[in-house]
Amino acid sequence: DAGVIQSPRHEVTEMGQEVTLRCKPISGHDYLFWYRQTMMRGLELLIYFNNNVPIDDSGMPEDRFSAKMPNASFSTLKIQPSEPRDSAVYFCASSLGGFSGNTIYFGEGSWLTVV
C-alpha cells in the first residue's frame, strides 16, 4: 500500500509568492491532518478534515493560510502571500477514524523555505 504522498518535497520561494502544498492520503482513510513543524513551536496541528469536511481549523495561523479537500484522495494547503516566518516542514497525515487506537500515518513532509 502506498503511504501518504506529499508534494513538493522541497520548495524555496520568495516572500509574497503563493505556495501550494499537496497531499494524497492513504486510500480508505477518512481523516486528514495538516501539521507544521518548526524548531521554535514543535509540531502544530493546523487543520484536520473528516470525510473531506474541515473539522477544526483553529490552528491555522492567519488568513494567509487556507486548506481544501475537494475529494477523499486529495488535499491542498495554500499560503498566500508567503512570508519568511512560514518557513517550516509541513506534514500531511491520514488515518481511519472512529477509534482512538487508529494510527495516524505521516507523509515525508514538504520542506518550505521562504526568502
Q: Which is nearer to another protein, 16 or 28 (CB)?
A: 28
Kindly tell me the burial class for residue 30, based on how many C-beta atoms sit within 10 Å of its own C-beta (0-12, 13-18, 19 or more).
middle
Q: Min. distance of Cβ 56 from another protein in angstroms?
A: 6
C-alpha cell at 43: 509540531
CB-nearer residue toward another protein: 63 or 99 = 99
Minimum distance from CB of 81 to another protein (Å)? 26
DSSP 63: T
Helix-strand-coil split of the chain, %, nearest 5: 5, 55, 45
Residues making up the chain, counted from first to last: 115
Per CB under 8 A, residues contacting another protein are 31, 33, 42-43, 45, 48, 50, 55-56, 89, 91, 93, 97-106, 108-109, 111
Minimum CB distance to another protein, residue 48 (Å): 6
